[in-house]
């Protein structure tokens, strides 16, 4: 099978994050076992989703790990002109949900594994496939726990998110949090005697925007990013039920996407102190008033030095000269910080095509990725 053959199979699985990925993992497992790979499956508690970790070559040393996630974002509400969960080839492009983000790279991983299985590798090739990356890099953590107990860690990792096969050395970290506001309900005709929870949320949003302005003006700066400073963002807010009732409850979700030099915990503590002041003021009218903040997801950024060995190694596979940093998050920060595995991001396609209707990756990019991974297999035969 070629990379396109593998991709056609992968695109047919609807692995939207809300759905299981077990069928896709079982199919990939069968392919790899037939190649002679050693395969480990790490299931979630329900058995509906799983990570896969496979090794080809000697198992008593480090090796190079290729990493990809198997889940994709939803297509609901999008207008597609081709089937979302099937492969359509047209004008040198391969269409389908996940073609760019990032089943194209997963397909190339399988092609590389097939090539490696027929070689006498001196250094092993590892394949790591995860679930629930799209909702906060959640699934990969159980695989990282498994790897942390292994006798040998990979020497380096390539996360194949779409970079146009440029070598990316960094991305920001992310902290996702929920703020809950409690006021006092009342009739809207007597609104001044109540405490409007939506107003408390509005006061908090003002604080968020003030902190954002401060970070932009005097926080860390990294010109390698499109947005060179740490950002704060409110993505969801809900509260109230009827126009003639002063709402007593409101909640909002916000995020911090931080540069390596900015500590998200310090920013969070700053926000919590401001939230406490909002609550204290509200309690002069309603003792039951409160503001509570809960972090529900976080993952670290990636900040691999440009001179790191993994950067030079992957550049030698692609022929690239420079490196850059990506705006989106990846599982790379977890591999690097929790396992200490040097990591870069490098894969086929463009994230500008990801998450959109008629998502695609070009056939030229897939071919170039095959060349990169063929070069990798040749290096593993020589011994890294």
- Catalytic residue set: 71, 133
Residue 38's Cβ-count burial label (10 Å; 0-12, 13-18, 19+) is: middle
CB 22 within 8 A of CB 83: no
Cα–Cα distance, 179 to 295 (Å, whole number):
9
CB 96 within 8 A of CB 157: no
SS3 state at 53 = strand
What tokens were used for 42? 């790490």
Tell me the H-state helices in the chain: 3-11, 22-34, 104-117, 140-148, 197-218, 264-282, 309-318, 332-339, 363-382
CB 166 within 8 A of CB 155: no
Question: Token match 């990925």: residue?
Answer: 21
What tokens were used for 125? 């090739």
Helix (H) or strand (E) holding 74: none
- Dihedral sign computed on CA atoms, order 10, 13, 14, 15: negative
User: What does each C-alpha distance from 301 to 12, 16, 178, 333 come to in angstroms?
Assistant: 32, 24, 20, 5
Determine phi and psi for 26, rounding to 5 degrees.
Answer: -65, -40
User: What does each C-alpha distance from 346 to 29, 41, 131, 207 come to in angstroms?
Assistant: 24, 25, 19, 37
- Dihedral sign computed on CA atoms, order 235, 238, 243, 244: negative
Cα–Cα distance, 142 to 218 (Å, whole number):
38
- Please state whether 47 falls in left (phi above 0), alpha (psi between -120 and 50) or beta: left
Q: Cβ of 10: how many Cβ atoms within 10 Å?
A: 24
Strand 50-56 with 38-43, pairing:
antiparallel
């Amino acid at each position: 099978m070629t990379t396109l053959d593998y991709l056609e199979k992968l695109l047919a699985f609807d692995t939207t994050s809300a759905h299981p990925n077990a069928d896709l993992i079982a199919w990939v497992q069968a392919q790899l076992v037939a190649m002679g790979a050693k395969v480990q499956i790490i299931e979630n508690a329900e058995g509906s989703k799983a990570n896969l970790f496979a090794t080809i070559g000697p198992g008593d040393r480090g090796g190079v790990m290729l990493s990809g996630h198997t889940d994709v974002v939803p297509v609901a509400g999008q207008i597609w002109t081709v089937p979302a969960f099937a492969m359509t080839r047209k004008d040198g492009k391969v269409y389908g949900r996940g073609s760019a983000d990032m089943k194209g790279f997963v397909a190339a991983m399988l092609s590389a594994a097939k090539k490696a299985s027929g070689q006498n590798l001196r250094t092993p090739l590892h394949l790591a496939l995860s679930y629930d990356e799209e909702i906060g890099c959640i699934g990969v953590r159980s695989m990282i726990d498994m790897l942390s107990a292994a006798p040998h860690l990979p020497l380096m990792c390539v996360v194949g998110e779409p970079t146009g096969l440029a070598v990316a050395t960094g991305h920001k970290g992310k902290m996702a949090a929920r703020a809950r506001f409690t006021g006092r309900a009342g009739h809207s005709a007597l609104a001044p005697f109540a405490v409007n929870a939506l107003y408390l949320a509005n006061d908090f949003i003002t604080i968020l925007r003030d902190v954002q302005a401060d970070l932009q003006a005097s926080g860390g700066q990294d010109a390698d990013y499109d947005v060179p400073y740490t950002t704060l963002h409110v993505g969801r807010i809900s509260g109230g039920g009827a126009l003639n009732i002063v709402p007593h409850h409101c909640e909002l979700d916000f995020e911090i996407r931080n540069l390596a030099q900015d500590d998200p915990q310090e920013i969070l503590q700053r926000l919590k102190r401001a939230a406490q002041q909002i609550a204290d003021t509200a309690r002069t009218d309603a003792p039951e008033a409160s503001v509570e903040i809960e972090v529900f997801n976080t993952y670290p950024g990636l900040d691999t030095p440009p001179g790191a060995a993994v950067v030079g190694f992957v550049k030698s596979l692609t022929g690239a000269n420079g490196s850059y940093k990506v705006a989106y998050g990846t599982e790379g920060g977890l591999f690097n910080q929790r396992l200490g595995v040097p990591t870069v991001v490098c894969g086929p396609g463009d994230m500008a095509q990801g998450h959109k209707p008629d998502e695609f990756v070009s056939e030229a990019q897939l071919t170039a990725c095959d060349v990169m991974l063929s070069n990798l297999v040749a290096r593993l035969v020589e011994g890294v």
